[in-house]
Structures are given as C-alpha cells and as structure tokens.
Structure 1
Amino acid sequence: MVDFSRIRGEFPILDQEIHGHQLVYFDSSATAQKPRCVVAAESKFYETINAGVHRGAHELAARSTVAFEEARAKVAKLVGANSEEGQEEIVVTPGATGGLNMLATAFGNASLGRGGEAAKRFALKPGDEIVVSKAEHHSVLLPFQELAYRTGATLKWFDLTDDGRIRSDTADEVITERTKVVAVTHISNVTGAITDIAPIVKRAHEVGAIFILDACQSVPHLKIDFHKMDVDFAAWSAHKMYGPTGVGFLYGKRELLEALPPANFGGSMVELAWMDKPAEYMAPPERFEAGTQPVAQVVAAGVAADWMREIGMENLMAHERTITEELLKINDVPGFRVIGPVESKDRIGTVSFDVDGVHPHDVGQFFDAQGIAVRVGHHCAQPVHRHFGLFASTRASTGIYNTVDEARKVVEVAKKVRPFFKV
C-alpha cells in the first residue's frame, strides 16, 4: 500500500499559506510541483560535477556525461523506449514545444531536399495532407499549421464529440492516401479526455503516414509504453512529470531518428565541418542536440522518472482517479458546467469548467483568495474552447500530492462563487 500522505510530505512548497489559507495546488497540468529528491538532484549536480557533456577530457566532464546519459536511460525506461548505446530513442529538447517544433522544422528541411534519400519519407509537397485535431494544444497545432504553409500541404483535423473527445472512429475518413503526417494529443489539457489513439495509429501506418503524439499530459498520469503503442514520435515536458523546467524529451523510433535531418545546428551535433561543402552530422540523438545541454535539469528529470516508477504508475493512476471523481462533482454545482467528460472513465483529473454569469478570471481570483491555485484562460487551446462555445474556462488539475479533502474543498468553494458575485 502506497502512503500518499507521506509522498505529499516530499513537496516542501505545499507547506505554506496563501492569503491566510493552507495552499491547495490544483494546477499540475500547467506545471507539477517538485519532490525534494528532484530539487536536491539538480542542486547536487551543480555542487559536485558541473561540467559540459560529451566534449571534455577531464574527470568532471566524464562524470557529468555519465550522469547525463544515465538520466536519459531512466527517462527511456519510464516510457518504454530503447536506451542501449547505439539504439537510443530519447532526444533532449527544451520542452515539448521545442520537440514538436524541431520535428516540424526537420520535416520542412526534408521537404527542401536535406537529409538525402532516407529523409524523403518526411518530405511534404502541395497535395499532401497533415492531420491534427480540434483538441490540440497550440504547441501541436501551430508548428504543423506553419509546416503546411511552408510546404503547400493541406491541414486537416479530427472533429470532437459533444463532450470533447477526438473522433477516433473517423480515422478512415480523415486520414487518406494523401496524408503524410498525423499529430494528435494523447490527453487534452482542457477536457482531460484520453484519446483512443489505436485506430488513428493503425490508419496512419496503413497509408504510410508518420504518427506524432503529444504526450505532455499522459506521461505524468498514465503507464506509458511507446513501443506497444507503435507511435513514431512523441514529445513531452519534464516539468509536468515532477521534474525541472526548461527541458523536455522527444521519443522517436530509432530508424526514423536515423533518417530524420537535423533542425538545429551548432556545436556537439556535427562530425566534420568544412567551409566549402556541407557538414557531416552525428548519429542520433546527438544530431538533434546542438549546443550546451541543460545537464543539471536532465539529471534531475532522470531522478523524477525513477521516483515515479518506484511509486508505480498503476498506484498513481488509482490515486488520481479517486481525486478526479470528487472533482467532477463540481458539475453538480448550480451554474457550473464541466468542459469535457463528466465521468471518470477514460479521462484524467484535468477538470475545466464554465461558470454561468462569472468570468473565468474572476472565478480564479475567488479560488485564489481561498488558497486554491487553479488555472484560468484558454489554456493555449482555443479551438477546443470554441467547440464548447467558449473563449476561456477555469481548470483544476490533479497531481500525486492532492487529496480527497482538497478536491472536496474545491467543490465547496465552487458553491460560493455565484452567490459572491450576486449572479
């Protein structure tokens, strides 16, 4: 039996009051808080072995490189990816946004003829199709929308069900023989709905398309195995999986990473460079990791990955499901409407809601006055809000440190919102 009250005690930031109330943090979909072991790992790195990786001959550089690569392997193990030398499938990125933009840029470079024969599978031209969905975070939508503009490809999208789920059942219609890229979210950061990606992946591969998964909201909340899911690429951020900010990861099937041309250029990613002919680039993942790496953050992210695995993702999922069921009771509060599925099945504890007659910013400030941190706005996902006839919403999202009592407090405070604003 996992003692979640003990786990909560590993988060020192929660031991404070906000506006005279004990802090209740329900904004983990934006960024999760960090356990002491993660904070200590980053600090210890700077105190003991701080040095550049893959380039120095001195002892600190060697130790730093070992720590960096061991962390990469820990992250790979969390998501079911290869971590053996020469078979690595994890690329370090500045975050999920950086990883997705890197892919879109690399596909654009392939479309210009860069990368040779092997990269032609990523090239796009007028008449080709890129498929996304209305549920996408802007970090998925915009890079691939821009890729379509640059290459002349057509952008298409999956529609949503009434409760905001991606219409996976229409995969055979939306994805055609002209489709070259499919990029969709695993879990919406607005509705919390888990996408049934299996039929989308199957159809994408039937027509020879590349499938890209936004795994930002799934890696911190679900047991993930990218090999079993058969996705081609996946991106996510460390700061949502209880790790540091400023770093993320891109998973790619090894054979695809080997064929993909680089998107960023500079030190540490080139084998040979000349003045009068193109450079020869390193094998992946180094090919995609130009410049100085965020080594301390990667090391700390590796600690976060191990910490999550030690708790057990099945245990984490069960705990959060209980919290989610309590949070969803906010849909029963008069004047409140949950934006997304109102049952806990096939969703996580990301619960967005609209309050009749009260602006989301006012709702958020009312919650903040009670010491409860929630998110307000469009959550960088405007199309899904338009699907529900909204411009913005208020969002409460769970983490491993939340309790049933905290979820009940959210619902109780919700009951006071409309009376306070005299609606």
Structure 2
Amino acid sequence: MGSRNPNKEDPEAIRMAFQRLCEAEGVVQLAFGAFKGEFRLLAETPDRIVLGVSDLERGQWRLKAGSRLTLTLLDRGLPYEAVVEFAGHGHLHQVEACHFGLPRLLRALDTHRLADFVPDRPIPCAFSDQHNDVKDGRALAFGEDGLELAPPEGTRILGDMLRLNATSVVELRAAVGDGLALSVRVAYFGEGLWGLRIQESADPLQVSRYRQWLREAQHQQALRDRTRFSPGGLEAARIPGKADPLKAAIRPHLLVDKDPLVLVLAEGEAFPARMAEAVGRKFGIAALDPGRSPLKPTLLDLGAGEDGWGRVKLIVIHQRIRAGTALEYCRRLVQEEACPLPVLVASSEEEANLKRNRAIAAGAVDHLAVEPFHVLSVLRTLDATLALFS
C-alpha cells in the first residue's frame, strides 16, 4: 500500500480532535522543563485551547508569554504530541485557566499500529484462536494492512489465546457483511489487544472488499465529524460557575432506522451501541435511558399514541437502568402501563434459568443473555421472540 501520514496537519482536523476531547471532559498532559502535569481541557476556540492550569501552578512553572510546552493527548484512543505556546491566563467562569495557542501539528506517536481508522465504538466480530476454536472479539481499530482486536471479556493472558506470529481468521460480519473473512497474523501485542496484520496469502478479493469498506467507513466518520464540528469553538459541559443547560425532554435516540424496531432501555450508550453494531443489519435499534415516568408518552417520535405503541415491536431492558432495577421497571411497564409488546430482560448468562424465571414473573417474555455478548445467540432470541408476537 502507499505511504500513510498518521499526523493531523489540517487546522480543522486538529480543532475537531480538541473538541472531541472537550466533549468527553478529557485531559491533556503538559511538559515544560522539569515540570509535568495533567490538566483538564476546558474550552477550544478557533485559535487557542483553554486548560485548567491554576495561578499557583502557572507561577511554579514560571510560564511567560511565548513559553513553549509539549502537549500530549489521546484522540479516539491514539496518542498525539504537539508543541503549544503559552498565550495568557485568566478565568473561565469561576475556574482559573491558562490559554495556549492552537498547535499547527498533532504528531502521531504510535505509528507502528494498524489503526488508520478508529470507529466511534468497537465492532463485534468472530475470530479463530490458535486451537482453531471460534471466539467473539471486538475490533477496536482498522488499517489498510490489518486491524487491532480485543479478546473476549474476562481474558487475562492474550498469549494463551493467540501468541505472537500465530495465525487467525477474523470474520467481520457485523461491520462489512456476511462472508468477509481475513487471514491474519499476530504482529504485536498492545494493552488488552492484538495487532493483526493481513497475511500475504490472504484472498485478494476479501482484502479488496475489506479495504473498500474501510475507505467508506473513514469517509462516513469524516462526514459525521464535520456535522458535529462547532466552528465558533466549544466549552466543556461541566465547569464550576457555568449555568446548567435545560435538560432535554427524555426521548429515544434512533441508532438504526429500520423495521422491525427494537427499543433498548439502558443507562448510557454502551449497551445500545453494541446492540446496534451486532444486530443492526437485521433490526432497527432505538435507545432510551428512561426515567420513572411512564414510557409510552416518551415514544411519540416513534409513532406511539392512542392507537398503539408505534413502530416499536420489542423492548429490551438492560440490567443497568437509572429508573430502578430492570425487573421493577418491567413490572411497572407491564402492570401499570399494560404494555402489550414483548419484553426481554438483558443481563449476564450466569444463573440463566433463575434469571429467566424472575424475568417471566415480572412480566417479560424471556431473559436475554448479553454478558458475554454472543451475537448469534442474541439474534436467535430476538428472532424467536418477534416470531411469537408477529
């Protein structure tokens, strides 16, 4: 393949990296002479970044206008380094802060990694270990010549499953589609991951399909990044003294827009995103972090009303929700709202029979084992449940 430039040189791309860090309430590392420290990113503007460096720390470091510091940060899990220039100090709302000029270059540090593209969320996949047993993994990053793969949850020693230079076949069904399998070899170990390089003997058609998908995925991510980009700058959401924005009304977020639509009730975005990536080729996925108020009125955007529950055909309640326990929420949904839709309660596979009995007693149709997450098992359960109620 042609040479690649992993650095970020485009000013807009550099600003996007800092805005992502700002949204994540993230930190950067600064080094100046003998001093090193970690500081929160408070804001990003068209020509500078604002860090939570106190007046005391500024004095101890003896920062003056024009002082040049080394800054390191993580963007989508990849480390970068830059040189920034001290541009002044003051307060952002009630926080002591220092201003630094926006760097002209973010230099990639781990250039050996097979990580040209890091998806917003890990992508489920299957792979063969050195005993030719099929395992579930998560693809964390992708490159023209390979990918980075995390093992099944609970794996302690990577080398027991795939040692250095071991060969494997990775099936990227959830990302690329059925029938795409890459022959790879373990090129390196990372922190909780393998770097898998595509073998020279790999099927050229499979490699071509993979690289075509990779370029399209990079293009789509770039489009999403431009949509989220704020040209005027961005502040972190939680800064002391900053007025809290009005809380948005609780409403579902459509992750995969297709029918039949499955509504996933869970705290945070991780589990709904995993469901979307794993089964989104077959089912629509909507996500909601519910409160204690009735569910149906929050589904107006999905067509719920006096005539029914709209597009939603199945509800999955994850064990971690803010509105009490999954079983309590299921019981309220079925008994108090008289919800006619099938409900699955999702949790770990431990004591599955006991959990199934408790879920059914609370009004659910069945228990859905999702920890560890086996894509085929989840697909079969969703299929069977919808078939019963179609």
How high is the TM-score relative to the length of structure 1? Answer: 0.24
Higher relative contact order (CA 8 A, sep 6+): 1
Larger radius of gyration: 2
Question: Which has more helix, going by share of residues?
Answer: 1
How high is the TM-score relative to the length of structure 2? Answer: 0.26
Question: Which has more strand, going by share of residues?
Answer: 2
